Structure 1
Amino acid sequence: MVAATLILTTAAALTACTPATTAPDDGPAGVSASVVQDRTQIATGTMSVEVHNDGSDPFVVTSMDYADPRLAGAVTWSGTLPVPSGSKRDVSFSVPSPVCDAGDSGQTGHVRLSFKADAEQATADYPVEDPYGFVASHLATACFSATLAQHASVALTDVTTAGAGGTEIAVMHVQVTVTGDDAVRIESAESTTLLQPEVGGWMWPIDTTVQPGTSRTIDLRTIPARCDAHAIAEDKVGTRFDTSVTILSDPAVTGMITLAADDAAKSALFDYVTRLCGNQG
């Protein structure tokens, strides 16, 4: 079971759940549900189920049971969640672990909602829409990362700087250690809204192979991607780099991982952007 935290209210009680199927007609008119992960949730590893009210009358959600065959466990929440007409409200919770052998073909989540409206109570089940393909993307990245961990460790270990004044650059050091029997090739890393390669563009074309039983440090030379006043204040994922990696097994397997700066590296990168952008201003 995964604990859920309501964004808009603090009343909650958690129990086990096994969602069943009932007719959506049992609930209020105009109800639908979707799953999302916005930029503020990526770094915290949380996601949300949004309850939409496209009907003409308000209602209150009093419990939610959410499950997806591609995610381990189920999420249960109970409390008080008013949803006015023409609006949506969220329940947020930690992203459940992926079920890596579940596949993704034709699978979707479902949610059972209990309602209170005009002194009437009702319970109904709804399919959970995923307009941005979040669950499938999470499944692909998390499961490939788990496979890669059996072959190698890849981590952004620290950040140094080179040069001074307006020509200063940050150098992100990525440590790759191959512990398995197959070589690993780091293909490329994508820039973010905050940071980009020293030469510009949206990608570091790394193309570096590390052999079994060896370790190598890859240096990513970096400059700010933007220097407006809100570059750091509004940044949510600027120090998380989507990175393409190939395990040179037979057959080879390619996937994406996220190189995330730890607190020390993140602080060093923010300090660097602040310093360089100040020099340029």
Structure 2
Amino acid sequence: MRTSLGHRSRAPARSRAWPGIAAAAIAVVLGLVGCSPSPTAAPSAAPVPTLPAGVTVELAQLRADVAPRQAQLRVINGSDTAITVGEVRVEDPRLHGPATRVVPDRVSTIPARGSVDIRVQLPPVACSAPDKGDSEAVLELVGESESAEVTAPAPDTLGFLAPLHSRECLQERMADAATLAFTDFQPSAPGEPATLELTVTPTGAGAGTVVGLERTNLLDFAGAPAEDEVFHLDIDVSAAEAEPVVVEVPLVPFRCDPHAVQEDKRGTIFDVRIELEGEPGEFELFVGDELRGRILTWVAGWCGFAG
């Protein structure tokens, strides 16, 4: 997979000549946008600008994108001419607003027959929308002296958005009854379990049950049978409660190969199982960047490959 190594500052990108098909495409797009019907012409819908022939886009979320709630807009240039993309927006009814570049004001040059992944930050989900929907990308094509916005379908190639929408809306519903957060971590000597602190804070306005946590690809629960899929907590929250419940979760590394820490993407994201109104469900809960660093340092020392 190629990354956007072709990023460069906006000023140089706008000053370069853009020959061939891409320049022609911008001229056509701008012409379409600027056209107005004659006084005698019947009213018609404005034409929708599109990408140059051979250029497509798609949306995906990689493992490293999960914790920061980001995604990749992949621009695939199947034409014979390089194109330059400035601002981007990904719009979907399941999102509360557009997803935009993580690094604003960048431009990406996509060579002929090449592709570039543009990282975008996902906004909060829109829980009033159904799980199904279609994503659309709006891209700024940058030319010699002008730019134009074009719109294109952005299929979700890995199908991540519907599950993300479902999980985060479930977490939002659970938050009506209680909020969940990992609040502390106490490391341990090799061979001994460490302690991860989970705090469940009732709102006093709803009810639900925190059933338990699932192990990750990096972390296991000390003393838990291997066949158990969940570390049971069974914390019942009611509308009459408001005092936080603090649980100490005993952890040991699930694996001790160095690349498990060096290449960690999801090892500190736990699946939380809950029940709401008698219906089971689950959502993901990240320990946060600060605790993640402490946990990875502990795993390295516990396994004997620190330093």
Give the TM bin, normalised by the shorter chain: 0.7 to 0.9
Matching of residue 85 in structure 1 with residue 112 in structure 2: yes
Cα deviation for residue 202 of structure 1 reads: 7.8
Q: Which residue of 2 aligns with 1:29?
A: 53
The 5 A counterparts of 1:91-110 are 91-105=118-132, 107-110=133-136
1:235 is matched with which residue?
Answer: 264
- RMSD between superposed Cα atoms in Å: 3.3
| Conserved? CA contact 2:7–2:109, under 8 Å | no
The answer as to 2:246 corresponding to 1:220 is no
Q: Secondary structure at the match of 1:272?
A: helix
Distance 1:12 1:68, change over 3 A: farther
Give the distance between the partners of 1:34 and 1:10, measured in 2 at CA: 22
| 1:110–1:126 Cα contact (<8 Å) kept | yes
Per the alignment, residue 155 of structure 1 pairs with 181
Partner of 1:128 in structure 2? 154
**CA distance in structure 1 between the partners assigned to 2:269 and 2:47 by the alignment:** 39
Q: 1:52 — aligned with what?
A: 76
Q: CA deviation at 1:30?
A: 2.1
Give the secondary structure class of the aligned counterpart of 1:206. Answer: strand
Is residue 95 of structure 2 the alignment partner of residue 71 of structure 1?
Answer: yes
Q: Are the aligned partners of 1:210 and 1:216 in contact in 2 as well (CA < 8 Å)? A: no
1:264 deviation in Å? 4.7
Taking structure 1 as the reference length, what is the TM-score of the superposition? Answer: 0.77
The answer on whether the counterparts of 2:218 and 2:267 sit within 8 Å (CA) in structure 1 is yes
Q: Within the alignment, does 1:178 sit opposite 2:202 as a pair?
A: yes
Among all aligned residue pairs of Structure 1 and Structure 2, give the percentage whose two residues are the same amino acid.
Answer: 26
Shift of the alpha carbon at 1:128?
Answer: 0.7
Change (3 A) 1:168 1:85: same
**Structure 2: how far apart are the matches of 1:92 and 1:12?**
17
Q: Distance in 1 between matches of 2:137 and 2:290?
A: 39
Q: Is contact 1:172-1:221 (8 Å) kept?
A: yes
Do 1:185 and 1:207's aligned partners in 2 also have CA atoms closer than 8 Å? no
Gap regions ≥5 residues in structure 1: 1-5, 14-19
Alpha carbons 2:140, 2:149 under 8 Å: kept = yes
Instruction: Name the CA distance, whole Å, in 2 between partners of 1:68 and 1:129.
Output: 11
The Cα offsets for residues 203-258 of structure 1, whole Å up to 9 and x where unpaired, read as 433150324215433333221122112222221321111212112x3xx3443232
Distance of 1:210 and 1:116 partners within structure 2:
56
Whole-Å Cα distance in 1 between the matches of residues 300 and 216 of structure 2?
Answer: 16
Aligned to 1:246: 275
Q: How many aligned residue pairs are there?
A: 261
Offset of residue 120 of structure 1: 11
Cα 1:21–1:145 shift into 2, 3 Å: farther
Measure the CA separation in 1 of the matches of 2:280 and 2:159: 20
Rounded to whole Å, the distance in 2 between the matches of 1:124 and 1:238 is 39
SS in 1 for 2:162: helix
1:267–1:126: structure 2 CA closer, same or farther, 3 Å change rule? closer
Whole-Å separation in 2 of the counterparts to 1:116 and 1:279: 48
CA distance in 2, matches of 1:62, 1:260: 32
2:67 corresponds to which of 12, 22, 43: 43
The amino acid that maps onto 2:108 is L
Partner of 1:257: 283
Residue 43 of structure 2 is matched in structure 1 by none
Q: Distance in 2 between matches of 1:119 and 1:183?
A: 59
8 A contact 2:54–2:78 mirrored in 1: yes
Deviations 1:147-179 (A, max 9, x none): 1111012222222356x44x2112222222333
